[in-house]
Amino acid sequence: MAKYTDDEIRSMSKITCKIAGDYLGITPMAVSIGMRNHLLPIGFAVHNEERDRQFSESWTYYIIGERLIAYKYGKINEIQVHNIEKNLSEIISKFEEMRKDLLFILSEDAE
| Residues 84, 28: Cα–Cα separation, whole Å | 11
Q: What is the per-residue DSSP string for 46-98?
A: EE-GGG--SS---EEEEE-HHHHHHHHTTSS-THHHHHHHHHHHHHHHHHHHH
**pLDDT beyond 60 at 1:** no
Q: How confident is residue 103, by pLDDT bands cut at 50, 70 and 90?
A: confident
Arithmetic mean of pLDDT, 85-100: 74
Name the average pLDDT for the chain. Answer: 83
| Residues 17, 66: Cα–Cα separation, whole Å | 15
Residue 60: strand, helix, or coil:
strand
Q: How confident is residue 95, by pLDDT bands cut at 50, 70 and 90?
A: confident
**pLDDT beyond 60 at 78:** no
Q: Using one digit for the tens of pLDDT, what is the confidence trace for 42-69? A: 998 998 877 666 666 789 999 999 989 9
Residue spans of the domains in the chain: they are 6-110
Per-residue model confidence (pLDDT) at position 82: 55
Identify the CA nearest to 77 among candidates 108, 111, 34, 46: 34
DSSP 8-state symbol, 45: E
Q: Phi, psi (5° rounding) for residue 47?
A: -85, 125
